[in-house]
Structure 1
Amino acid sequence: MRTIIWPVYIDSEKTKKEGRRVSKENGVPSPKLREISNAAKKLQLNPETENSKSYSRSWWESSGRVTVDKNMPKREVLIKISNMIKGMR
């Protein structure tokens, strides 16, 4: 099974209303698609990047998204990717 990860899901600078899915402490400021993809690769989640997609709450921004294999709850996936990005920065 695959799941979609939008950068806004782990962006600590966004509000819950704007689409953030993790706490500010677990988030990272302005995550890039490349960072999310690299972190997912290190976690062996088989990432696929789609650059031209737009998140529905901010349809005017072409933020892109990453799809990954889902072998645990989505929230866990988001926190692990976020922590991996923190470690890489």
Structure 2
Amino acid sequence: MKCERVKRPRLGRPRLLIVGCGDVGMRLLALVRGQYRVFALTSQPERRAELRAAGAVPIVANLDDAASLRRLAGLASTVVHLAPPPSEGALDTR
């Protein structure tokens, strides 16, 4: 008799990282709240309370900083990138 592997249901909700929580990011957060555990990346520390009140786990980080990027690795199974390119320069170096 062959034993079949039983798939276990995932514990908790899937994790979603929203990079850039401006107008569109906040609208997305409102849509997926309750379906995902949402992490919201912002470069503005003063937005933590607003993001938390909207149902996200706020993460203050800088996309131009390698240490910040390492902190984000593996945090979520799905990433939605909505951050605008740098406001200066002819190229987006990211």
Q: Which structure has more strand as a fraction of its residues?
A: 2
Which of the five TM-score ranges fits, normalised by the shorter chain?
A: under 0.3
Q: Which structure has more helix as a fraction of its residues?
A: 1
TM-score with structure 1 setting the length = 0.26
TM-score with structure 2 setting the length = 0.25
Which structure would you say has the larger Rg? 2
